[in-house]
Structure 1
Amino acid sequence: MRAAVAAQLEADIKTLFAAVRLPEPLGEASVYAMANGGKRARPLLAAAAFLTANSAKCGQACDEQALSMLRRASLAVELVHGYSLVHDDLPCMDDDELRRGKPTCHVVYGENVALLVGDVLQSLAFEVLTAKLPDFAPADEQVAARLMAVFAPRARRMVAGQMLDVMGEQRALSQDELQAIHSDKTGALIEAAVLMGGICAQLDDNELAQFAEYAKQLGLAFQVQDDVLDATGDTATLGKPAGSDDKLQKSTYVKLLGVQKAQQYADELYAKAMASVAAFQASKPSELSKTSDENLLNQLALWLKGRDK
């Protein structure tokens, strides 16, 4: 699934930027920022949520429009994630020169262009949910409205979390304070991805609540593990400067708990996430997902748990 989702996303990114025709160097810099690989975790989560929901519904087939809306949702969350990384790397923020093993956007194109790249990626994230785009089925207005209702406030929460993170630099934060930051900074967009996938699969409110709990636990686990990797990994493996949290004197779960207990905490959170969606087991393999008994959301949680960057 991961390869198929990544390939579709890369194609959709190319389609989008061919259609919008931004002035240069903004267009080239935007493609550079979005095409720089990475785990594509958020589009994967959207797809896993969609396929898990459909697999649990007796492997029902997915129509073209539902799949097209899933592609729009996946592209939207990755665009917001991309803009957040470009802005996060700026000299006025974390001042990082490497992202995914390559020079950051502002290093290549200049700070002024990078700032505008983040701005336009954020705008495009909302545009793609409804716009007429080549190779996409026409947008379902009712589904698009539901997607926007969960996406917009979580994109705003991500920014609020970043503000709290900046304010927390050079301060010793409690675990509750740290968790409040990362439930927004990291967790909000993960929540958006999972919920948007569920909406495209037409889950009801009660089912979406279970997906939301999964995303809440997974988002926190993801951040705790990031803190562990930042403290224990190396720049070559991570693809970004190791030890950047120390450079900015940030509070982390490793500083609060130590490496071993922080990793144990992450493992507990991953287990809670998977338990939240345990009811969504495939009654038979989906034509799309080809799953066994384990649902794709839990498979993806296990993959993220085992990552080294």
Structure 2
Amino acid sequence: MVMTDDVRASQRKSHFDLPTYLAERQTQVEIALDRSLPVIYPEKIYEAMRYSLMAGGKRLRPILCLATCELTGGTVDIAMPTACALEMIHTMSLIHDDLPAMDNDDYRRGKLTNHKVFGDDVAILAGDGLLAYAFEHVAIETKHVAAENLLKVVAMLGRAVGAAGLVGGQVVDLDCEGKSDVSLETLNFIHNHKTSALLEASVLSGAVLIGAPEDDLQRLSRYAKNIGLAFQIVDDILDITATQEELGKTAGKDLKAKKATYPSIWGLEESRCQAKKLVEGAKAELAIFEDKAAPLVALAEFIIARTH
């Protein structure tokens, strides 16, 4: 991950080493994901699922899950099955989002998209397979968690990915494509569902697994909603300002598709200001946790400092 001077300075002040933390957690997540999905017959579908699942990426969602579980008294081992499931669900959304019927993209994480390698039909099934397997993995692999808490997490994941979350946001996004009169309210709806819903589930699930108190869950929910919207604003900015090599996917596709974005409504500078305000609000929600929240504070800062 690329760190800016501002983020490095912030980490020095807090004595928290974000690059090292991310490297350690990413390695743990990569190992767990690799073990979670072996290739068996019929090999084609498992190879297609693994092609996108193991293609790298920031692993932000699983890392947020692990961080909040630790923050509220749990361990990495307790949260890892849920963390893997979150990445499986996220990967499904990317596979489907890249399809010709959606965003019609050729590259993702610097590689050809799933449908370009395996065909539209297998790509659709690979996404379906990852979504279903995510729930199976959580249910079977989660250990030392109260059944009531595990059930809450399963329900949370289902809501985040369904019509009340990611799918609902995607539908409104498709409906708005090419329209010049999309309101800020509608744009917020799209991304509070399409982007923020799964990020919120990532943050909350780690705490729900160990039965964190409601007050903590409310604070973490507000934190998650803020960083989720900030993440999307930065995505919109990078689509305009970054190259395909930096992004690992097609740059400028929102403009070509005539999609409403935050820069198209606010302009680049105001978009940057709004993202910073959201991150400051997110960090404020963590003040009560003091130094224990250092990973989540640093991750919030990373969201507006990232370059891809």
| Shared fold, TM over 0.5 | yes
Separation in structure 2 between the aligned mates of residue 249 and residue 22 of structure 1, nearest angstrom: 42
Correspondence 1:146 to 2:166: no
Report Cα offsets for 1:5-52 as digits up to 9, x if no partner. Answer: 21122122222212x735121111111110010111101111221223
Correspondence 1:242 to 2:251: yes
2:55 pairs, out of 11, 14, 36, with 36
Report Cα offsets for 1:194-233 as digits up to 9, x if no partner. Answer: 0011113431111101000000111000001100010111
Separation in structure 1 between the aligned mates of residue 111 and residue 216 of structure 2, nearest angstrom: 40
Is the Cα–Cα contact under 8 Å of residues 42 and 78 in structure 1 kept in the other structure?
yes
Structure 1 match to 2:32: 12
Task: Give the total of aligned pairs.
Answer: 285
Separation in structure 1 between the aligned mates of residue 118 and residue 146 of structure 2, nearest angstrom: 37
Correspondence 1:82 to 2:91: yes
Larger relative contact order (Cα-Cα within 8 Å, sequence gap ≥ 6): 1
Structure 2 match to 1:202: 211
Structure 1 match to 2:70: 51
Letter in 2 for 1:8: Q
Separation in structure 2 between the aligned mates of residue 236 and residue 186 of structure 1, nearest angstrom: 23
Is the Cα–Cα contact under 8 Å of residues 72 and 129 in structure 1 kept in the other structure?
yes
Where structure 2 has 5 or more consecutive residues not aligned to the other structure, the ranges are 1-20
Matches for 1:37-116 after TM superposition, within 5 Å: 37-54=56-73, 62=74, 66-116=75-125
Separation in structure 2 between the aligned mates of residue 253 and residue 102 of structure 1, nearest angstrom: 27
- Pairwise CA distance, 1:246: 1.1
Separation in structure 2 between the aligned mates of residue 152 and residue 22 of structure 1, nearest angstrom: 27
The DSSP-based 3-state class of the residue aligned with 1:29 is: helix
**TM-score where L is the length of structure 2:** 0.88
The DSSP-based 3-state class of the residue aligned with 1:280 is: helix
Letter in 2 for 1:94: D
2:40 pairs, out of 4, 15, 21, with 21
Letter in 2 for 1:53: T
Structure 1 match to 2:294: 295
Separation in structure 1 between the aligned mates of residue 153 and residue 253 of structure 2, nearest angstrom: 34
More helix by share: 2
RMSD of equivalent CA atoms: 1.6
Letter in 1 for 2:40: R
Greater than 2 Å deviation, 4+ residue runs = 51-54, 66-69, 136-143
- Pairwise CA distance, 1:142: 2.9
Separation in structure 1 between the aligned mates of residue 76 and residue 304 of structure 2, nearest angstrom: 27
Is the Cα–Cα contact under 8 Å of residues 158 and 188 in structure 1 kept in the other structure?
yes
Is the Cα–Cα contact under 8 Å of residues 145 and 210 in structure 2 kept in the other structure?
no
Separation in structure 2 between the aligned mates of residue 218 and residue 138 of structure 1, nearest angstrom: 30
Report Cα offsets for 1:89-123 as digits up to 9, x if no partner. Answer: 00111110000111000111111110000000100
**TM-score where L is the length of structure 1:** 0.88
Separation in structure 2 between the aligned mates of residue 201 and residue 8 of structure 1, nearest angstrom: 20
Letter in 1 for 2:243: D
- Pairwise CA distance, 1:138: 6.5
Structure 2 match to 1:160: 168
